[in-house]
Each structure stands twice: as C-alpha cells, then as structure tokens.
C-alpha cells in the first residue's frame, strides 16, 4: 500500500537558517503530494501541494518539488522564523477511490531566536 517516510525530529534551527525536511513516498499510480503544518493545540493546515511530477508547490516562503524519479517531496525554506515552529506532515493522496490522505509521522521544527 501507499506509505510516506519523513525525517525524524525534532529539528532545531536558529532564526534565519536554511530548512530542509526530507520526505519520500511509495505509491501506485500518480498521487498528489502535500505538506501540512500543525501549530501547537491546533488542527492541520495545508501549507502547499503538488499534483504532478516536476510541479513545485510554494507558500509563505516554503517550497517543495514533486520528484517522481526519486519519489521525493522535500520541504525547504531559505530563512526560518521563530513563528515557523510547528510540526510538519508530508502526505499523499491516491489517484482513485477514497482520496484519503496517507501521512508521514511528522517532523517537529523548533526555531530559536
């Protein structure tokens, strides 16, 4: 079945540092790929998405490129802020049927001033 693997956290960075959170997936067909963010005590919010190979999703300075050849969707940001501290989830949605999301285990990011 479908699966998503993320790098384990926590990831601790200083403000203005470069961020990369790795995500790889296993899926049949042509899944859509997502990054969701969860701030403390809140639900999940969509950060960005990509629906086909070589698409780049971007939002709030975050970017991720759908790489079918390496089955990856790594999240990057050039300069993190304290307000980016949260848990980040990589997820995929199958191309048919229920279209539910398969999530990775999440990566906690802590940004220090």
Partner 1 sequence: NAGVTQTPKFRILKIGQSMTLQCTQDMNHNYMYWYRQDPGMGLKLIYYSVGAGITDKGEVPNGYNVSRSTTEDFPLRLELAAPSQTSVYFCASSYSGGGLAGITDTQYFGPGTRLTVL
Instruction: Provide the strand spans (E) within the chain.
Output: 3-6, 11-14, 19-21, 23-26, 32-38, 44-50, 56-59, 62-65, 75-77, 86-93, 101-103, 107-112
Tell whether residue 69 is a contact of partner 1 (CB under 8 A). no
Distance CA 113, CA 104 (A): 28
Tell whether residue 93 is a contact of partner 1 (CB under 8 A). yes
Q: How far is the CB of 88 from partner 1 (least distance, A)?
A: 11
Sign for the pseudo-dihedral over CA of 66, 78, 47, 9: positive
Q: How far is the CB of 100 from partner 1 (least distance, A)?
A: 5
Tell whether residue 67 is a contact of partner 1 (CB under 8 A). no
Tell whether residue 89 is a contact of partner 1 (CB under 8 A). yes
- Cβ proximity to partner 1: between 82 and 100 the closer is 100
Report CA dihedral (95, 98, 99, 102) to the nearest 10 degrees. Answer: -110
Tell whether residue 100 is a contact of partner 1 (CB under 8 A). yes
Q: Which residues would be at the binding site for partner 1 (CB under 8 A)?
A: 4, 29-32, 34, 36, 42-46, 49, 51-52, 89, 91, 93, 95-96, 98-101, 103-106
């Amino acid at each position: 079945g479908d699966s998503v693997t993320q790098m384990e956290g926590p990831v601790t960075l200083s403000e203005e540092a470069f961020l990369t959170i790795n995500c790889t997936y296993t899926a049949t067909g042509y899944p859509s790929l997502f990054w969701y963010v969860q701030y403390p005590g809140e639900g999940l919010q969509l950060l960005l998405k990509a629906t086909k190979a070589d698409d780049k999703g971007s939002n709030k300075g975050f970017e991720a490129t759908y790489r079918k050849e390496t089955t990856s969707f790594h999240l990057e940001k050039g300069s993190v802020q304290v307000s980016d501290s949260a848990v980040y989830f990589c997820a995929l949605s199958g191309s048919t049927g229920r279209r539910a999301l398969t999530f990775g285990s999440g990566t906690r990011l802590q940004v220090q001033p």
